[in-house]
Structure 1
């Protein structure tokens, strides 16, 4: 008898699958299978007419547990798993494979030097001294193809387990000589043909010696040009032409053929582990061929390659000091390459695969038992079960990013609202709410780290939010009172939260107590009216920072109110602030002021734009770019009720957070914090209830004034001008090259919104 872990069988039902390779896992419960650790299962694949579509495969079975990698053919497939102990003990899995040819594929490419010998490193222990079996270009092509199907199967199974459906990237394929199975070695009379991943052979103008320059070796700490291999690979692809033109926005996994272990320098050369995502152009993840000798050429070799404890020897590189056996070398090579492909698909350094979780755990994805690890001096696991810890997975945040890429699209998917979760402080509950139109799917909590790994427990989620969000049941709004936080946690200890949404965005609150202690609710003296403040904070505050508040209506000396007519949004390489101009010709900066009533420094901002506010028009939404690697906020954009929008977000420098008033409120002012050199570290909105005349006392509240310290509230006219140091060379050092529309005057009456194009991520990451 068999039970399956990742398929549900029902009479007459056929499961639809949209990627060619998949993992089948389960358990044979017969007594003979349960008692043995060295058993096996046989996997046969046929079509609806019982014609064999793929050669029979044998996979290890340990105490009844088994895993198998299966390749499907378009149409109906019958996958039959048979116990090696009893041919009558079998199970049939009906599957319908439909290739999604309308989705963009992952392209595979090999970079070859102009004078390349077309050989890769191969130690004597892998027949390198007596045979070219594992060292030729043909061998590299065969190994690359199998690795790509392993990546595809791992991703599909992992995303299925996360509730996102059995989805993965499609590979660019072609009808060619079948290198996927051993039958290609034994076909004497007729060449075996099949559908195989297409490998683009891309020539570079550089010689082998140039690629192997120590200055370009990524593992050389003194190397001056360690990014050059990625740049050179990109240029070679573009010179190669279709399908690598920028307008096609290809995603490419690139293998460098001429990588080599330099025995004299004791360094791997012509190798770099780098990945870059560019939705407006070519996205590329690259890796060297120095571990490829340990990879399987055929599906039949996968179990052996992932269990082989032979030592590679002294003639090949020991990447990251983790390649001490053949199977560990295979895990590091295939896993680290997938890590770089993850970067090409927009994943940053998070957890799991994007934090080197593949190094020890790659074999657990494909096998029911593992081998001895010389690196960690640990015995192999027997058996690998669904409960076995495995860090070779995608972080949920990465999986959600993938789900929203065209490469991972499935029939029936719907477009999600692209905005990230936002925090809104609420007057009604004297607490906060987390809102996201796309739906919140996970809450993470931490006490001493920015990198939150553990999801909030079911019990704690119910206590805090009376809801347990998940991928299957996203929650649009989570509310909590200030009192509940104080009841459950010690306010003297830092407490971090991260809210992850179904669209792959997230909101990180570094310290919830700081958010609650901020002037979130302001009661107007002498009334029951409460003002609500919502803020985006960089988390960096210094002793000499200035706090300020600016209202959209201000009171003149005669007591009459004058409304704001224009807002000058000052954005350069980061957010300088804004200047609010009033109908009477006066102006107040959203930034520090001197004791004389004018700015301590003139505001810069080469992307500054002015947003005119007509009578009867309100500001309805504010977007602020929160930095990923800076102390300052990076951008600011505002929307009016008539649809006009203005500002620059600098999206490549951080993550955008949106500020909107609570239901039944409207924006009446701004608050924030700025450094002495006029750079914002916090920017927020002040909201007041609709339909209520605000009392005069509101205009005397200290937090809502931008008064020079120790002086009266007298405001002076001033004309902001560029700083002396604002020059072309100054802006060239900043990455302002997001969607051009975010830096242009879009006073056209339309809300251009937010989309994947403006969320460009272009970063390079090494694995070491």
Structure 2
């Protein structure tokens, strides 16, 4: 059973070209940087002062469900000093007492507090010149800068574990990616003012320190990185002549750039999760001990860094570059073929164990811009997968513009070198310069990684096309843009940066790839149950209901949602515990219609015919109600022969719920009473007793036969599969009867297990125990099972419970 979805990141018919240039040659980048941004290159430069080392200690363990989110820094005993000379170092240790005077020009970190724990090796940090308490957060648009300072910030890693490098300080603001090693990290930041004058009696260096605890994740499945090459591939990628002479284009350089792009994805996502109140929650990359590339050193030291798998395909370069395979070719005959090729190759290479789902981001190295056809060949931007593999694919057409190390990130996102379309692509016409090509390449591939993690398209953010502003997360300003024809900005406020939407962050919060080591175990079985009761719908889930996405009619994207977290997570507070989410919620259609009316964009205002819901639990399970009104309408109600009203549960399986093959069985034990005399001769009436259930099945459920003590029976479905079926008998002497069922269901009903009224007693699971996904159906409090409704063609393809009071 193969059912993966594929989503293109662009639908434009015109060619989606990609653009130019990237990292190592900083002189080349400085020649082409925007004049609107002051000192926008970061370099590995000899600093004015040396670093004071501090001994490494073990990391502090985090709290129970999630690490406490960062608060703005407060003054502690770790004081900024006016210069290195003012800092006394004893036996290689920083002094623990005798606080030093604060320098008014000391760098202050505003994005994370001192002593915080984090879970990624490359961390994005924002800061400013000036104390937060005095001047506020300068990265917000509404905060005025009384006296802006420009200059250079030098970053010293813990125990010289990473090269010293620098980033620009523009208008008293800076952003920097820091490299961490496992355990405690003491980082030093030193600001040197541009054209510094010593006449005021102040030295050049203004220093501050930050302690962070890096705790690598090991409780979540990793994201694998793969490069796909043709069987006769030259193992090179498109590159303009100037970049060719500076860096080359072999597979080793491709690995460096792809690895750095993946760490940018991780740092960006962690920063976005922090802003949404889920601090330091992020996916992990598969890593191995290897020659390091993140620091750009030569010779290369050995570090644990992201592993890049090279997978050789059974296709030739010519076959991969067929115009029919090109996703952006409006006349292409097999524009989805590259996804199928990558899916097959990755499954064969990684060989997942049964029940193990793997996550792979893959890049075609042999992508090529054909200037004659005006087409990028051997490229597709697709994401999706199936139960075994989540996959995102992209081409290498913009790889030349990517940074290859941390020091190269800001130069890459400020390089205004025009795109030479004789050699490389201007993807979608939005990559007219090198920094814009890096945005499109890194950002669009991240969009597909979002699909890999199960994200749909959104009205805004990365899952629309907001990644054209990805650079703003890593730089203070922005150069001239060929896409918007704007002259650039010296400062881009946080509100104008690229973002994961709130719904994306909610999905990440409960995704297995974002698990923390301290998270409680949440079983994935049990699912979500939906019950249409009278004028409302009750939703239950043992794992807890986290949020509901609300859709109008058949819209692809959700414009409204309702959260059931115990409180909205915000920066500066603990992430809400998943076990605090409610296990049952009541839903009313009129409330959702009001939300949609308020949230729909003005150009989409209309009379809403139906409300569609996607319910999400903390176990990362989703359940879709296609038409909310049908669950509360007359069609969802049935009358038992005794006049009682029965209500339907939500349907499982993809079969019809109202077609010609649909059968309905009302259990006679619910409404029929039988006469019997007691030992004194008195006539009593009691409910008809259900003695046993006979199950007919093979690898799917064919039918159920309900057998009563008076030797009568009722048939639901067909007598197929195993001859004679399997029988489960109730202990009727102790009043045992049917309380609920556990189903394995996907496109049809794979298997069933009966749950009885005797605590803890269940039947064996009949049918395919590994088919579909697990769903537990137990009526809400005050209701009992009254019957079954389902589509019965060759076998049971859908099933609903009927419940009554």
- TM above 0.5, yes or no, is yes
Q: How high is the TM-score relative to the length of structure 2?
A: 0.66
Q: What are the residue-to-residue correspondences of 1:249-648 with 2, within 5 Å?
A: 251-275=359-383, 277=385, 280=388, 284-315=391-422, 316-345=424-453, 347=455, 355-377=463-485, 380=488, 383-388=491-496, 390-392=498-500, 395-402=504-511, 404-405=512-513, 408-418=514-524, 419-425=526-532, 431-451=536-556, 453-456=558-561, 472=576, 474-480=580-586, 494-518=610-634, 533-536=648-651, 548-553=664-669, 561=688, 563=690, 565-568=692-695, 580=706, 588=714, 590=716, 612-616=728-732, 617-622=736-741, 637-641=752-756, 642-646=761-765
1:108 to 214, 225, 235: 225
Look up the match of 1:197.
306
* Contact preservation (8 Å) 2:260, 2:294: yes
* Contact preservation (8 Å) 1:536, 1:624: no
* Contact preservation (8 Å) 1:6, 1:26: no
- Structure 2 residue matching 1:265: 3-state secondary structure: coil
- Structure 2 residue matching 1:434: 3-state secondary structure: strand
Separation in structure 2 between the aligned mates of residue 510 and residue 382 of structure 1, nearest angstrom: 48
Q: What are the residue-to-residue correspondences of 1:634-713 with 2, within 5 Å?
A: 637-641=752-756, 642-646=761-765, 658-671=776-789, 674=791, 683-688=799-804
Separation in structure 2 between the aligned mates of residue 586 and residue 317 of structure 1, nearest angstrom: 74
Q: Deviation of residue 377 (structure 1)?
A: 4.6
The CA RMSD measured in Å over matched residues stands at 4.7
- Change in CA separation of 1:304 and 1:531 when aligned onto 2, cut-off 3 Å: same
* Contact preservation (8 Å) 2:457, 2:557: no
Separation in structure 2 between the aligned mates of residue 134 and residue 97 of structure 1, nearest angstrom: 34
Look up the match of 1:42.
153
Per-residue CA deviation, residues 388-434 of structure 1 (Å, 9 max, x unaligned), is: 363445713530353x24xx43221111142333333557xx64433
Separation in structure 2 between the aligned mates of residue 72 and residue 508 of structure 1, nearest angstrom: 42
- Change in CA separation of 1:211 and 1:682 when aligned onto 2, cut-off 3 Å: closer
- Change in CA separation of 1:104 and 1:679 when aligned onto 2, cut-off 3 Å: closer
Separation in structure 1 between the aligned mates of residue 751 and residue 555 of structure 2, nearest angstrom: 25
Look up the match of 1:755.
none
Larger RCO, structure (CA 8 Å, separation 6 or more): 2
Separation in structure 2 between the aligned mates of residue 38 and residue 607 of structure 1, nearest angstrom: 84
Most deviating of 298-307 and 388-397:
388-397
Q: Deviation of residue 8 (structure 1)?
A: 4.5
Q: What are the residue-to-residue correspondences of 1:175-190 with 2, within 5 Å?
A: 175-184=289-298
- The answer on 1:25 being equivalent to 2:133 is no
Separation in structure 1 between the aligned mates of residue 320 and residue 724 of structure 2, nearest angstrom: 44
Separation in structure 1 between the aligned mates of residue 317 and residue 642 of structure 2, nearest angstrom: 80
The unaligned stretches of length 5 or more in structure 2 are 1-68, 78-113, 139-143, 197-203, 570-574, 598-606, 676-686
Separation in structure 2 between the aligned mates of residue 166 and residue 637 of structure 1, nearest angstrom: 40
* Contact preservation (8 Å) 1:106, 1:251: yes
Separation in structure 1 between the aligned mates of residue 265 and residue 285 of structure 2, nearest angstrom: 10
* Contact preservation (8 Å) 1:256, 1:270: yes
Per-residue CA deviation, residues 441-475 of structure 1 (Å, 9 max, x unaligned), is: 324334445556345479xx8xxx9x767661543
Separation in structure 2 between the aligned mates of residue 155 and residue 620 of structure 1, nearest angstrom: 44
Separation in structure 1 between the aligned mates of residue 373 and residue 723 of structure 2, nearest angstrom: 48
1:209 to 299, 318, 343: 318
- Structure 2 residue matching 1:553: 3-state secondary structure: helix
Q: Deviation of residue 668 (structure 1)?
A: 3.0
Look up the match of 1:740.
none
Separation in structure 2 between the aligned mates of residue 531 and residue 73 of structure 1, nearest angstrom: 61
Q: How high is the TM-score relative to the length of structure 1?
A: 0.69
Separation in structure 2 between the aligned mates of residue 432 and residue 369 of structure 1, nearest angstrom: 50
Per-residue CA deviation, residues 289-310 of structure 1 (Å, 9 max, x unaligned), is: 1110111122222123223344
Separation in structure 2 between the aligned mates of residue 449 and residue 223 of structure 1, nearest angstrom: 28
Counting matched residue pairs gives 641
Per-residue CA deviation, residues 659-682 of structure 1 (Å, 9 max, x unaligned), is: 31122543232245x59x689886
Q: Deviation of residue 82 (structure 1)?
A: 4.3
